[in-house]
């Protein structure tokens, strides 16, 4: 959307504000004077050459086209404010458990199903801790993934595979790798802490038929697999309805659409469906969530790497 606006702006600017003194507008002024009509001359700085006057023409165009979102002129403060509101709306849940089905869909439509149990523990002053345990199929049963998200330092992540009978730590430089063959990377599985990005507010739009804020965010981690992301935030619920991911070259890589939101404890919204589409490979991964249960009697010891091999 913003790319289209920028192209329109560039065409308009090149035709109307970058003219020299011999532009068609001068010719029209001369014709009007010959016909006895009053000439309407633009301000002198619009006709003069040089970098200063070019900048003045550009600023004038931006003021006139205030609704056009030009990169570098987006609202960073508003973007950060919305991201902080998203965090505040979701604070205080304590913990929750849920069941999840992960469907992997190949480019030719072949499907494979995996079943998991998920536990999430909120950590005061830091990112969440996430634990996922695979129950099916048999070749991945007993596998477990643990993530400790941090606000200002690289996340800690571990994976236990029964076939190897050891816990493997995921290095920060390897978090771009796919998680268990899905279109979700290890980076995608960490909680989206506000401090992990810088933001721009690009305006209002719609996603899934709901009014939304459109944010652009840039990862601050040098190991991120993304150059930027576009996030559609539900204007009423302050949850992400859609995220477009762009790879390090700036090409669109994936799109995540979340749907079927339900509210728990009269405050916390959770999606029942997540569809991640890889535009470059043609593959998809669909997550179906069920049985959310908040503020359970969760053992904090389960969120230690040494406990992964004992998960049942």
Q: How many domains does the chain have?
A: 2
Are residue 57 and residue 146 in the same domain, yes or no?
no
Query: What is the model's pLDDT at position 48?
Result: 60
Q: Residue 258's closest CA among 278, 244, 279, 247?
A: 244
Q: Which domain holds residue 124?
A: 87-310
Instruction: Kindly state whether residue 79 falls inside one of the protein's structural domains.
Output: no
Q: Between 51-64 and 2-16, two packed helices, what is the crossing angle to 10 degrees?
A: 130
Average pLDDT of the chain to the nearest whole number: 86
Higher confidence at residue 17 or residue 92? Answer: 92
276 with 152, same domain: the answer is yes
- Rounded to whole angstroms, the Cα distance separating 189 from 179 reads 9
**Quick one: pLDDT at residue 96?**
98
Residues 140 and 95 in one domain: yes
Residue 201's pLDDT is 98
Residue 8 clears pLDDT 50, i.e. is over it: no
pLDDT for 138 equals 95
Model pLDDT, residue 16: 46
**Is residue 197 domain-shared with residue 64, that is, in the same domain?**
no
Q: Are residues 160 and 287 in the same domain?
A: yes
pLDDT at 9 over 80: no
What pLDDT score does 146 carry? 98
pTM of the model: 0.78
Residue 168 and residue 289 in one domain: yes
Domain CATH for 256: 2.50.20.10
More confidently predicted of 70 and 285: 285
pLDDT at 6 over 70: no
């Amino acid at each position: 959307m913003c790319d289209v606006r920028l192209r329109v702006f560039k065409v308009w600017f090149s035709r109307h504000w970058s003219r020299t003194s011999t532009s068609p507008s001068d010719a029209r002024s001369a014709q009007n004077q010959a016909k006895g009509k009053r000439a309407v001359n633009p301000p002198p700085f619009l006709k003069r050459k040089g970098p200063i006057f070019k900048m003045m023409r550009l600023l004038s165009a931006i003021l006139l086209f205030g609704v056009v979102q030009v990169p570098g002129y987006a609202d960073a403060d508003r973007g950060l404010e919305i991201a902080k509101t998203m965090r505040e709306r979701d604070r205080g849940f304590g913990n929750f458990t849920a069941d999840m089905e992960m469907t992997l869909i190949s480019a030719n439509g072949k499907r494979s199903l995996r079943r998991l149990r998920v536990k999430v523990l909120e950590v005061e002053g830091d990112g969440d801790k996430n634990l996922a345990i695979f129950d099916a199929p048999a070749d991945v049963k007993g596998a477990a993934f643990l993530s400790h998200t941090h606000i200002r330092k690289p996340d800690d992540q571990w994976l236990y595979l029964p076939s190897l009978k050891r816990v493997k730590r995921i290095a920060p430089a390897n978090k771009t790798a796919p998680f268990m063959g899905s279109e979700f990377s290890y980076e995608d599985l960490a909680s989206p802490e506000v401090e992990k990005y810088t933001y721009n507010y690009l305006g209002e739009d719609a996603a899934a038929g709901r009014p939304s804020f459109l944010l652009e965010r840039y990862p601050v981690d040098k190991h991120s697999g993304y150059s930027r992301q576009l996030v559609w935030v539900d204007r009423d619920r302050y949850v992400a309805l859609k995220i477009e991911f762009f790879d390090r070259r700036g090409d669109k890589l994936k799109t995540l659409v979340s749907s079927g939101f339900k509210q728990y404890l009269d405050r916390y919204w959770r999606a029942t469906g997540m569809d991640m589409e890889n535009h470059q490979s043609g593959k998809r991964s669909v997550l179906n969530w069920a049985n959310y249960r908040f503020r359970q009697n969760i053992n904090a010891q389960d969120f230690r790497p040494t406990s992964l091999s004992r998960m049942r």
